[in-house]
Amino acid sequence: MKQKLVMIGNGMAGVNTIEQLIKLNPNKYEITIFGAEPYPNYNRILLSSVLAGDVGMKDITINDWDWYENNQIRLLTGQRVIEIDTKKQTVKSNLGAIVHYDEMIIATGSSPFMLPVPGAEREGVIAFRDIKDCETMIQTSKKYKNAVVIGGGLLGLEAARGLLNLNMNVKVVHLHDYLMERQLDEVAGKMLRSELEAQGMEFLMKKQTEQIIGKSRVSAIRFTDGHTVETDLVVMAVGIKPNVELAKEAGIAVNRGIVVDDDMRTNVPNISAVGECAEHRGIAYGLVAPLWEQGAVLSKRLAGIETAPYEGSILSTKLKISGVDVFSVGDFNEKPGTKTIRVHDEWRGIYKKFMLRENQIVGAVLYGDTSDSSKILQLVKLGSQMTEQLHAQLTGVGASPTGSSLDLVKAMNDEEIICGCNGVSKGVICSAIQNNGLTTVGQIKDCTTASRSCGGCKPLVQQLLELTNGDTGSDLVIKEGICGCTDKTRDEIVEAIRTMHLTTIKETIHVLGWKSEGGCPKCRPALNYFLSMVHPEDYEDHRDSRVANERRHANIQKDGTFSVVPRMYGGVTTPQDLRKIADVAEQFNVPLVKVTGGQRLDLLGVKKEDLPKMWEALDMPSGYAYGKSLRTVKTCVGSTFCRFGTQDAMGMGIKMEKRFERLDTPAKVKMAVSGCPRNCAEATIKDFGVVAIDGGWELHVGGNGGLKVRITDVITRVKTEEEVLEWAGAFVQYYREHANWNERTSEWVGRVGLASIQEALATEEQRHVLNARLDVTLSKVKDPWKADLEKRDELEKRYESIKAQLVGEL
Partner 1 sequence: MNGSTSNAVGIEICAGPFDELPENIGRLLVYENHQIALFRLGDNKIRAIANQCPHKQGPLVDGLVSGDFVFCPLHDWKIHMGNGVVQAPDVGCVHSYPAVVKDGNVFVSLPESL
Residues lying near partner 1 in the complex (CB under 8 A): 421-422, 446-449, 452-453, 516-521, 524, 543-545, 547-549, 551-552, 556, 558-560, 608, 794, 796-798, 801-810
- CA–CA dist 241, 159 (Å, integer): 18
**Cβ closer to partner 1: 163 or 430?**
430
Q: How many CB atoms lie within 10 A of CB 180?
A: 22
The least distance separating partner 1 from the CB of residue 349, rounded to whole angstroms, comes to 43
Mode of pairing for the β-strands spanning 218-223 and 110-112:
unpaired
- Least spacing, CB of residue 729 vs partner 1, in Å: 31
Q: Tell the smallest beta-carbon distance from residue 504 to partner 1 (Å).
A: 13
Nearest to 660 by CA among 697, 692, 628: 628
Are 65 and 151 within 8 A, CB to CB?
Answer: no
Single out the residue of 673, 601, 612 nearest to residue 638, CA to CA: 673
Report helix, strand or coil for 62: coil
Q: Choose between 145 and 543: whose C-beta lies nearer to partner 1.
A: 543
Distance from C-alpha of 210 to C-alpha of 202, rounded to nearest angstrom: 19
Q: For partner 1, which is the closer residue by CB, 524 or 634? A: 524
In whole angstroms, what is the distance from residue 187 CA to residue 178 CA?
A: 9
DSSP codes of every residue in 648-711:
-HHHHHHHHHHHHTT-B-SS-EEEEEESSTT-TT-GGGSSEEEEEETTEEEEEES-BSSSS-BP
**Can you name the residues that pair with 697 across neighbouring β-strands?**
692, 718
Minimal distance in Å, beta carbon 335 to partner 1? Answer: 56
| Cα–Cα distance measured from residue 82 to residue 95, given in angstroms and rounded to the nearest whole number | 9
Task: Select 171 or 628, whichever has its Cβ closest to partner 1.
Answer: 628
Alpha helices in 486-543 (DSSP H): 490-499, 505-511, 523-534
Minimum CB separation from partner 1 for residue 642, in Å?
42
Q: In the bound complex, what is the minimum distance in angstroms from residue 669's beta carbon to partner 1? A: 22
Q: How far is the CB of 444 from partner 1 (least distance, A)?
A: 10
Task: Extract the runs of DSSP E, i.e. beta strands, from 396-451.
Answer: 417-419, 424-425
Pick the closer one to partner 1 by CB: 350 or 421: 421
CA distances from 232 to 124, 201, 210, 435 (A): 7, 16, 17, 71
Nearer to partner 1, 545 or 745 (CB): 545
Identify each DSSP E strand in 18-102 by its residue range: 29-35, 74-77, 81-85, 90-93, 98-100
Distance CA 116, CA 559 (A): 84
Cβ-based nearer residue to partner 1, 123 or 796: 796
Give me the amino acid identity at 767.
R
Nearer to partner 1, 294 or 563 (CB): 563
Nearer to partner 1, 198 or 802 (CB): 802
Please, how many CA atoms are within 13 Å of residue 173, restricted to the half-sphere of its CB? 26
CB nearer partner 1, residue 527 or residue 728:
527
Q: Given the DSSP bridges, would you call strands 350-357 and 338-345 parallel, antiparallel or unpaired?
A: antiparallel
Q: Are 700 and 684 contacting, i.e. CB atoms less than 8 angstroms apart? A: yes
Which 8-state DSSP code applies to residue 631?
A: E
The answer to whether the Cα torsion of 174, 177, 178, 181 is positive or negative is negative
Residue 465 C-beta: closest distance to partner 1, Å: 17
Question: How many CB atoms within 10 Å of residue 646?
Answer: 19
Question: Cβ of residue 791: shortest distance to partner 1, in angstroms?
Answer: 11
Nearer to partner 1, 421 or 572 (CB): 421
CA distance 255 to 708: 52
d(CA 769, CA 83): 48
Nearer to partner 1, 333 or 549 (CB): 549
Q: Partners of 635 in the beta sheet?
A: 673
Q: Evaluate whether 644 touches 676 at the Cβ level (below 8 Å).
A: yes
Helix (H) or strand (E) holding 603: strand 601-606
Closer residue to partner 1, CB minimum distance, 643 or 797: 797
Rounded to a whole number of angstroms, the minimum distance from the CB of residue 419 to partner 1 is 12
Q: Minimal distance in Å, beta carbon 484 to partner 1? A: 10
Query: Shortest approach of partner 1 to residue 595 CB, angstroms?
Result: 25
3-state DSSP call for residue 77? strand
For partner 1, the closer of residues 448 and 647 by Cβ is 448
**At residue 111, what are phi and psi to the nearest 5 degrees?**
-120, 155
Closest CB to partner 1 among residues 143, 558: 558
Shortest distance, position 668 Cβ to partner 1, whole Å = 17
Q: Classify burial at 641, counting beta carbons within 10 Å of its beta carbon; exposed 0-12, middle 13-18, buried 19 or more.
A: exposed
Minimal distance in Å, beta carbon 607 to partner 1?
11
Q: Which C-beta is closer to partner 1: that of 96 or that of 560?
A: 560
C-alpha 101/C-alpha 98 separation (Å) is: 10
Rounded to a whole number of angstroms, the minimum distance from the CB of residue 448 to partner 1 is 6
**Residue 566 CB, nearest approach to partner 1 (Å):** 21
**Alpha-carbon gap, residue 27 to 209, rounded angstroms:** 53
Q: Taking the complex as a whole, how short is the minimal distance between the CB of residue 787 and partner 1, in angstroms?
A: 16
b (16+ CB within 10 A) / e for 511-533: ebebeeeebeebbbbbbbbbbbb
Comparison of 42 and 626: residue with beta carbon closer to partner 1: 626
CB atoms within 10 A of CB 401: 12
In three-state secondary structure terms, 399 is coil
